[in-house]
Structure 1
């Protein structure tokens, strides 16, 4: 199944969740904000929110450092 993540086309398995997508990019859910089709998704439902073919996902994540 094809989705768009931060402007790039990405192949994901059918019935993948936002939580699984974040794990595939090595992004901790608690440090990320995810928008699915222009709607911000609550962190508490990342593991329950199923991706569908053609979704547009924007991920912003925070990186520590100084």
Structure 2
């Protein structure tokens, strides 16, 4: 995840976000360099070697 290997239990991207504590947060996600919309996360099945990116919004200037 975000360039670092991790072990997960979650079968889907949606469940991974919940597992990692992002369940209610606004984040952008990509799997294998393809953007995944919020409404599609429950349909994205994760397999070993998938590259998952999770980006949180930041404030500042």
Bin of the TM-score, shorter chain as denominator length: 0.7 to 0.9
Please report how far the alpha carbon of residue 28 of structure 1 lies from its aligned counterpart in structure 2 after TM superposition.
3.1
- Give the TM-score taking structure 1 as reference length: 0.75
How many residue pairs are counted as aligned between the two chains? 59
Structure with higher strand content: 1
CA RMSD, aligned part only? 2.0
- Give the TM-score taking structure 2 as reference length: 0.80
Unaligned runs of 5+ in 1: none
Structure 1 segments (4+ residues) deviating >3 Å: none
Unaligned runs of 5+ in 2: none
1:1-66 alignment runs, 5 A limit? 5-13=1-9, 16-28=11-23, 31-62=26-57
